[in-house]
Structure 1
């Protein structure tokens, strides 16, 4: 778990989808280290258990939620079940995704449907359920994981780029509607982050080109993204909503 003395999230309850590895796991561990009780959601029970065990071993509090959030019913079971069990819900991190990069001619209906169900529709259902679960006065924070692919696109990414651009739109629209209930909705847009799930789309040559184009001269890490999500989840960002924070080392808006 990331070392920190910051316990600013003590007493709060968070749900992180896709928390079995990568950005989701790093985020869940960081939120737990800051005092939150964290619901660990992933489709694979073994991934869920591994993250829960790691958090508990570091002295944090975590609850296993092995649930398929690609359907409205599944997402509602995850969100409302945690809220009912803990008596509250304060933070939702919509991180789960399933990704395939394909040339236009090879895109199949089943690929589009699965990517939409997990990476787009699930965010809508998560926001809907969280708005129901969050206290009308206390409010809460919803953080959606988008991508710089929603701003700058590469070949073979028609579906992924479209979905991530849509996540940004969902974020702004939800913030406009839910702000009156003190629910803040923001998003993070990472650049290419090395994770277990991105290995098939990375190689040394491609990583070298990405690093060369990045002003900070390195690839981002899962901890870079987790820290930004934790900031958006906490009180230090209490007047921020409808924002998309690019966490990309400067690659999106520079040309080097």
Structure 2
């Protein structure tokens, strides 16, 4: 793989599994030093081990990024150790789908803390340490649920639509500092974290509605994130890239 991220320092929140892990592996293969973040040390150690075993560079960032202090500690600590921060991927999330009568305050608060507030705190901390001359790239993980929604997803859809708004506003504010801010919006992607919300019948319906005739994979999303983080996207900012096989903009 071409080392287009050689010399870059990239922190990826929630990279102990799923899309975050796939992105960490890919960025490391592209030459970046990757900060692997997760709340669970065993997840972090496993991914760091995978990267180093393949000849890449990775460091453990075992930190709860659900608070401003936690996110700042993760971002600023990683940047200090590496002497720089070039890329931040705001991927961490905690998701529960609930029908309107069942939505609980604790569910909303936890989802907001990690998936909405965490994105803002990550951007704030990254903007503080990204070099004024080099700039940097921030990629937020949104969802097609920010465009089109299904039942039982009021909180999730609202947060992901909010992430899209955060992305555009941050890009407008930080562009003068050469910091690009973009987002990816995946459709349903099988991961460890989404298993509880999937079944064979639902997957079959999604596949039937997708022009490319399959579900996305974590690698599909990781490739899009890595593109947006690289110099190949040097004139791309404030964009939300749907990585969904065409499901939200076609009617078949």
For normalisation by structure 1, the TM-score amounts to 0.98
Number of residue pairs the alignment of both structures matches: 252
Q: Which residue of 2 aligns with 1:242?
A: 238
1:251 is the counterpart of 2:237? no
User: 1:189 & 1:51 partners in 2: Cα distance?
Assistant: 24
Q: Which residue of 2 aligns with 1:12?
A: 8
Q: Which residue of 2 aligns with 1:83?
A: 79
User: 1:71 & 1:102 partners in 2: Cα distance?
Assistant: 24
1:93 is the counterpart of 2:89? yes
Q: Which residue of 2 aligns with 1:138?
A: 134
- Name stretches of at least 5 consecutive residues in structure 1 with no aligned partner: none
1:157 is the counterpart of 2:153? yes
Q: Secondary structure at 1:241's aligned position in 2?
A: coil
1:105 is the counterpart of 2:101? yes
1:206 is the counterpart of 2:193? no
Q: Which residue of 1 aligns with 2:125?
A: 129
Q: Which residue of 1 aligns with 2:222?
A: 226
Q: Which residue of 2 aligns with 1:64?
A: 60
User: 2:195 & 2:215 partners in 1: Cα distance?
Assistant: 14
Once the two structures are superposed, residues 2-26 of structure 1 have per-residue CA deviations (whole angstroms, 9 ceiling, x without a partner) of xx2x101000000000000000000
For normalisation by structure 2, the TM-score amounts to 1.00
Q: CA RMSD in A?
A: 0.3
Offset, 1:197: 0.3
Once the two structures are superposed, residues 69-116 of structure 1 have per-residue CA deviations (whole angstroms, 9 ceiling, x without a partner) of 000000000000011001000000000000000000000000000000
Q: Which residue of 1 aligns with 2:17?
A: 21
Offset, 1:201: 0.4
State the 4+ residue runs in structure 1 displaced beyond 4 angstroms.
none
